[in-house]
Amino acid sequence: MTDIAIKVKDLGKRYRIGAQRHAYRTLREKLNDAALAPFRAVKSLAHTNGTAKSNGIEGQNGRNGSSQIGHATLNPAVHSANNLIWALKDVSFEVERGEVVGIIGRNGAGKSTLLKILSRITEPTEGYADIHGRIASLLEVGTGFHPELTGRENIYLNGSILGMKRAEINKKFDEMVAFAEVEKFIDTPVKHYSSGMYVRLAFAVAAHLDPEILLVDEVLAVGDAAFQKKCLGKMGDVAREGRTVLFVSHNMAAIENLCSRAILFDQGAIAFNGNVNECITAYMDTGSSTNSSDVDLTSHPARDLGALPLLKRVRLLDKDHNLKDRFVCGEPMKIEFSFERPASLGNPQFGVGVNDWMGARVFSITTYFSDSSLPALNGQSKVVCEIESLPLAPGRYTLSLSMGTLETLLVDNLENAVSFDVESVDFYGNGRVPEASFGRVLVRSRWLAVPERLETK
């Protein structure tokens, strides 16, 4: 009884989503709502039959998975007619003091929602969680970093945001700076830092948090290989010190090395809870489903505020048209859009932005800036963008998707709507495998000796 650090009981979190309703409302809408309410009541009475029918059809399609607009990624555990989805439902588990528990699952399985509830960022809808001990959460490295402030200033700011006391930061300051290897630049504004330095500094602060219970979300997937190794080492130290850690990651090797137990989430519920290796096997089985490379965009949270939800779905495919979320360097990739096209809209244009894990744009491809322009569409509701060879270094990337017209420009836009991994492969055909530290882009090149006479010319 005294050994329980975290006890979660029947925890559930419901989100309201919906294409007709944006994430936030405007006062005008609210006022309109109020003014029109009496009329709508009459109208809904008249239309009851019609609505019931269309709901029925949608529900059926959702179950069969045959609907054009799939419910793949947001994978609601329960889906009701008024657009409420349970991101987490009936989740119960306990974590003992000193345990390091891995949380794994596909994107949207509820892992992050769980951590957000446990770290008090958002409230549960039902159930409860008891936390015994001082808790700190690390959902992102560098939260609150300000580019104008120096490394030193950001350490204090970020440390206090993560819940450290000033005295504690003073004490650990030198250690953090040494860990980040930025001694020389500690009084330079971080906007002048390289991305590597930035991440190292951010992680250094986080790594020196000293709580009894630590919640970590996927933050180790940053930096170059050497630094990742260092971070994993630090995490290992934390684990050995007898601290309780909940660790969300897609890095199965890290989970295997660090965790004494793992919990697999699927569709907002616990699918497996126990032995790490068995859990990873179970996870690989859910991996054959195509969640993260087939994304329902109808009510996606990544949509820009105010954008028209015209893009309905995106799928990442390999050259044989199979769904895929792990590509290798240089592999062909197809990005297929399903969309809705109101009659009023001119000929649509599409764009894809490829971003690295830090959110920096690596490159963009659009129908407008392209060597083969998109033919005029008559009635089609799908287009596919073919990339001959992915020029990306190993790592995780996200895609930002947009749809517009030549006249009105951007109509719909989703930032980081879908993610995929690129894995190392013999890209250059010489048996050497590119590394993440090479930069984001792989370029084929030819190296020649310049003949003497050309040089003198």
Partner 1 sequence: MISSSHFAVRESQPELPTLRIAPSKGWVPLKLNDLWDYRELLYFLIWRDIKVRYKQTALGATWAIIQPFLTMVVFSVFFGHLAKVPSDGIPYPIFSFAALVPWTFFASGLNQSSNSLVGSGSLITKVYFPRLIIPLASVFSGIIDFALAFIVLLAMMFYYGMMPTLNVLWLPLFLLLALVTSLGVGLWLSALNVEYRDVRYVVPFITQFWMLATPIGYPSSLLHEPWRTVFGLNPMVGVVEGFRWALLGTNTAPGPIVAVSAAAAIGILITGAFYFRRMEKTFADIV
Number of shown-chain residues binding partner 1 (CB under 8 A): 48
Angle at 78 (CA atoms; ends 137, 69), nearest 5 degrees = 100
Q: Which one among 18, 59, 163, 332 touches partner 1, defined by CB under 8 A?
A: 163
Give the strands of the sheet with 333-339, arranged side by side.
294-296, 311-317, 333-339, 382-387
Residue 238 contacts by C-beta under 8 Å, 6 or more apart in sequence? 214, 245
Q: Which one among 18, 59, 98, 144 touches partner 1, defined by CB under 8 A?
A: 144
**Smallest gap from residue 311 Cβ to partner 1 (A):** 22
Q: From residue 349, how far is each of 307, 340, 355, 361, 368 by CA, in Å?
A: 15, 13, 20, 20, 7
**Smallest gap from residue 1 Cβ to partner 1 (A):** 10
The smaller minimum CB distance to partner 1, of residues 87 and 276, is found at 87
Site string for partner 1, 270-309 (x = CB under 8 A): -----------------------------------x----
Q: Which one among 149, 271, 323, 362 touches partner 1, defined by CB under 8 A?
A: 149
Q: Which helix (H) or strand (E) holds 216?
A: strand 213-217
The distance of Cα 9 from the centroid of its chain, to the nearest Å, equals 26
CA 206 to CA 180: how far, in whole Å? 11
Task: Tell whether residue 187 is a contact of partner 1 (CB under 8 A).
Answer: no
Closest by alpha carbon to 337, among 399, 386, 381, 378? 381
**Smallest gap from residue 24 Cβ to partner 1 (A):** 5
DSSP string computed for 6-18: EEEEEEEEEEE--
Q: Which residue type occupies 281?
A: T
CA 243 to CA 211: how far, in whole Å? 8
Tokens representing 372 are: 């083969």
Q: Which one among 157, 221, 328, 365 touches partner 1, defined by CB under 8 A?
A: 157
What is residue 210's three-state secondary structure? coil
The backbone torsions φ and ψ at residue 148, rounded to the nearest 5 degrees and listed phi first, read -75, -20
Q: Which one among 47, 53, 166, 192 touches partner 1, defined by CB under 8 A?
A: 166
Tokens representing 341 are: 């096209």
Task: Tell whether residue 128 is a contact of partner 1 (CB under 8 A).
Answer: yes
**Smallest gap from residue 251 Cβ to partner 1 (A):** 20
Site string for partner 1, 28-47 (x = CB under 8 A): x-x-----------------
The smaller minimum CB distance to partner 1, of residues 199 and 390, is found at 199
Task: Tell whether residue 92 is a contact of partner 1 (CB under 8 A).
Answer: no
Task: Tell whether residue 160 is a contact of partner 1 (CB under 8 A).
Answer: yes
Residue 441 contacts by C-beta under 8 Å, 6 or more apart in sequence? 362, 363, 391, 392, 393
What is residue 151's three-state secondary structure? helix
Task: Tell whether residue 81 is a contact of partner 1 (CB under 8 A).
Answer: no
CA 106 to CA 319: how far, in whole Å? 23
Q: Which one among 57, 161, 358, 377 touches partner 1, defined by CB under 8 A?
A: 161
Per this entry, what is the length of the chain? 457
The smaller minimum CB distance to partner 1, of residues 59 and 189, is found at 189
Task: Tell whether residue 202 is a contact of partner 1 (CB under 8 A).
Answer: no
Q: Sign (positive/negative) of CA torsion 365, 366, 369, 374? A: positive
Site string for partner 1, 100-119 (x = CB under 8 A): ----------------xxxx
**Smallest gap from residue 178 Cβ to partner 1 (A):** 22
For residue 435, the tally of other CB atoms under 10 A from its CB is 14
Q: Which one among 101, 131, 418, 442 touches partner 1, defined by CB under 8 A?
A: 131
The backbone torsions φ and ψ at residue 182, rounded to the nearest 5 degrees and listed phi first, read -125, 25
Tokens representing 368 are: 């407008």
CB 18 within 8 A of CB 299: yes
The smaller minimum CB distance to partner 1, of residues 137 and 298, is found at 137
Q: Which one among 96, 130, 407, 423 touches partner 1, defined by CB under 8 A?
A: 130
Task: Tell whether residue 126 is a contact of partner 1 (CB under 8 A).
Answer: yes
CA 81 to CA 85: how far, in whole Å? 10
Q: Which one among 50, 56, 65, 133 touches partner 1, defined by CB under 8 A?
A: 133
**Smallest gap from residue 314 Cβ to partner 1 (A):** 23
Q: Which one among 37, 148, 453, 456 touches partner 1, defined by CB under 8 A?
A: 148
Q: Which one among 58, 90, 94, 140 touches partner 1, defined by CB under 8 A?
A: 140
Q: Which residues bind partner 1 (CB under 8 A)?
A: 2, 15, 23-28, 30, 116-135, 137, 139-140, 143-144, 146, 148-149, 153, 156-157, 160-163, 165-166, 212, 305
